[in-house]
Amino acid sequence: MRRLLRTLSLLAFLPGAAMAAVESRPVAVELVLAVDVSSSIDRDEYLLQIRGLVRALRSPDVIRAVEMAHGGVAISVMLWAGEKEQQQRIPWMLAREAADLEELAARVAGLNRIRIWGVTAIGEALSKAHRLFGNNGFQGARRVIDVSGDGRSNGGRPLHLARTTALADGVVINGLAVVNDDPDLETYYREELIGGPGAFVMAIADFNDFEQAIRKKLIREIGVVGMVEAVPGR
């Protein structure tokens, strides 16, 4: 009894830690969607990404995958570009059914593009996305960063350092490579970006294929692998 009272007394002096331990909600996956908005992506390509993600979130396959995920899926959306151009635009929210995904899709549809300067800082994006998992109110069986982009890292924190830090913390990093400007980007993503148990990279020819690819990628990341089909041509 004295030991229990002593423990409770100690917790009284650590309200933040105690609250985090009590309030973290178990979910199947904590997922950060990190969307590239650097200057290599023009206005039409940006809109194809946003509209593609919106339609993917509303698709019956994604809805079914979320409904099958034990505890639901915690999702946050981040836009990224250069060294100091990473913004969590949609805070963490829990998706368990179609209504939740509809709310998320509506918020994605309303996103405005962040100010950009031209650099593609994937290492900075990874570091920011990794930090988003801290004290977010959820405890996922898996934590996943979903990076989409059309170029190699050319500024900011070295990618290998950010990747090593995230992987050491048990985070899985997946990639969606748009190879219209760089035919070898899929290989670069595979060798330099992705990592962790079950990590994978998908490649598409251009942003016109983004909707189909991100839909299948979301299903796979949520965990219902059997529902995923191969991306045409890959």
The model's pLDDT over 115-155, given as tens digits with 9 standing for 90+, comes to 766 789 999 999 999 999 999 999 999 999 999 999 999 98
Please, what sign has the CA dihedral across residues 200, 213, 129, 99? Answer: negative
Share above pLDDT 70 across residues of the chain, in percent, rounded to a whole number: 84
Question: What pLDDT score was predicted for residue 23?
Answer: 74
Mean pLDDT of 14-36: 74
Q: If we measure between CA atoms, which residue out of 169, 181, 192 comes closest to residue 32? A: 169
Question: What pLDDT score was predicted for residue 112?
Answer: 86
Mean pLDDT of 65-84: 94
Lowest mean pLDDT among 11-15, 151-155, 170-174, 224-228: 224-228
Mean pLDDT of 194-220: 95
Under the banding of pLDDT at 50, 70 and 90, the label for residue 39 is: confident
Question: What pLDDT score was predicted for residue 13?
Answer: 42
DSSP state of 195: B
Query: What radius of gyration, in Å, describes the C-alpha atoms of the chain?
Result: 18
**229 pLDDT exceeds 70?**
no
